Every structure is written in C-alpha cells, then in structure tokens.
Amino acid sequence: MTRTDSRPQTATTTPTTATTKTGTTIAAAPTAPTATRALSRGAVGRARLLGGAVLAGPFFLAAGITQGILREGYDFTRNAFSQLSLGEGGWIQRTVFVLTAALVLAGAAGLRQALRDGPGGTWAPRLVGLFGISCLAAAVFDADPGAGFPAGAPEERVPSMSTEGMLHMLAGMVGYLALCAAFLVLARHFAAAGARGWARGCRIVPAGVLAGFVGSAGSVLAFASGAALGLLWLAAVAARIGRGTPVVTGDRQNHSS
C-alpha cells in the first residue's frame, strides 16, 4: 500500500523562471506579494514627503513665536518674523527659513507623486515648490530693521527700503502668490474628487491670505495672520491628501468631504 504525505502544502511565492528554445533564461514577473510590498514602500515614501508640507507651517510659526518671546526688543504688534534674522541671534531665523524651505520642497515632491496624472498634478507641486524656493530667498536676503528692532534700530518704520530688504519683500510676495495659486489649483483636485468642502476652502483661503497682505500697511498683525493662514492651510491640505482624497465614481460618492 502506498503511503501518502498528509502534511499541508504551503504555497510559495518564489519567482519562477522560464527557458526558451535558445537556452535563454527569462525571469518571471514579480509575484503579487512583491508588488504589494513595492506599493507599500512607495506609499510610505510619499507620506513622508507630504509630511514635510504638514510640518513646515507649524514649525515656522512655533519658531517665530518662541524667538519673539525670547528676543529683547521684539514686539509682535510692530515687528515681522522676518526681522528676527537681524542682530545677534539672527542666524536662528535664517536657519528656520532654510529648514522651512526644505520641508516645503519635500512636500511639493510628495504632492507630485500623490497627484500624478490627476487634476492639479502638474501645477500644484510646481507652485508649492516655488513657495519653498521663496523661503530660501528669504534666508539669503534680510528684511530691513525698523520699529525698534533690533536694538538700536529707528523706532519708526524705515521710509525707504534697501535693495536687500526689497529683494526679501519680493521673495515673500512671489512665494505667497504662488502658494495662493497652488490652493486654487488644488481646488480643482478636490472638486473632481467630490470633496466640496476642501475645494471651497482652497478657494476662500487665498482671499484671506491676500487680505492680510493688503492690511499689512496698517498692521503687522494683519500680515502675520495672512501668512499664518496660508502656512496652516498648506499643512491641512497636505495632511488630507496624505490620507487619501475621497474618490467619486459616476454619481456615487464613496467618502464624504
């Protein structure tokens, strides 16, 4: 009598090979588990890049507030965060600009991967990247002193800007205009996915950012509020995209916004 092996057989996922008539060995296509692992690694890498955009705004604001509290003579109602680059200890704020730029540029790369071939997939990452470059420019060109900061600076605002101060201001203007444009592009992405609330937010926030910049002529706090709004909304949309944007097929919405 023939004895049979009753032990359970375990399926293997080792890639197989095939040999042609000419003797050439051809590797088989990757197995399903291998492809799954590759996709998982790609998703983790994309999430880490998007995490840069999530962290950039809170990091910049926390660093600015902390320095404003600790730096002698700094007044939140009269001085902008950019002026923290001046005087003794100014290297800290310049470093903050550089690190913020690195985080934003990483986020732009993550957006490029997440939105590839979809609405907003071309211009949103480019515009966010331009905002990151403007942060680097802000680290290179210092703002002008004034309003009593740093110590020894005139108590009033300087009536005429230096070339370096003008370049700093220009970098900020270009960067935040690019960021506002990126939000408008991302509105298309969210609208196409059926996330109407997020799409609406991406259309409203640029108006708030620009209103803060317009109001900066009369109040530094207005400027700071507009800038903070843009940074925090970037963090919010990057986090939302990192979790996966809702997908709508036909008339049926799979996830609510």
**DSSP line for 205-252:** HHHHHHHHHHGGGT-HHHHHHHHHHHHHHHHHHHHHHHH----EETTE
pLDDT per residue as tens digits for the range 105-153: 999 999 999 998 788 889 999 999 999 999 999 999 999 998 889 988 8
Q: Which residues pair with 119 in a beta bridge?
A: none
Please report whether residue 4 resides in a domain. no
Please report whether residue 34 resides in a domain. no
Please report whether residue 9 resides in a domain. no
- Report the pLDDT value the prediction gives residue 46, as an integer from 0 to 100: 84
Residue 161 per-residue DSSP state: -
Query: How many structural domains is the chain composed of?
Result: 1
Q: Which residue has the higher pLDDT, 190 or 44?
A: 190
Q: Which residues pair with 68 in a beta bridge?
A: none
Domain that includes residue 212, residue range? 48-243
Please report whether residue 251 resides in a domain. no
Are 122 and 95 contacting, i.e. CB atoms less than 8 angstroms apart? no
Backbone angles phi, psi at 252, to 5 degrees: -100, 125
One-letter amino acid identity for 150? P
Please report whether residue 39 resides in a domain. no
Please report whether residue 29 resides in a domain. no
- Report the pLDDT value the prediction gives residue 35, as an integer from 0 to 100: 45
Q: Which residue has the higher pLDDT, 40 or 94?
A: 94
The CA distance from 167 to 91, in Å, is 18
Are 57 and 231 contacting, i.e. CB atoms less than 8 angstroms apart? yes
Residue 3 has pLDDT above 60, yes or no: no
Please report whether residue 43 resides in a domain. no
Please report whether residue 20 resides in a domain. no
- Report the pLDDT value the prediction gives residue 218, as an integer from 0 to 100: 83
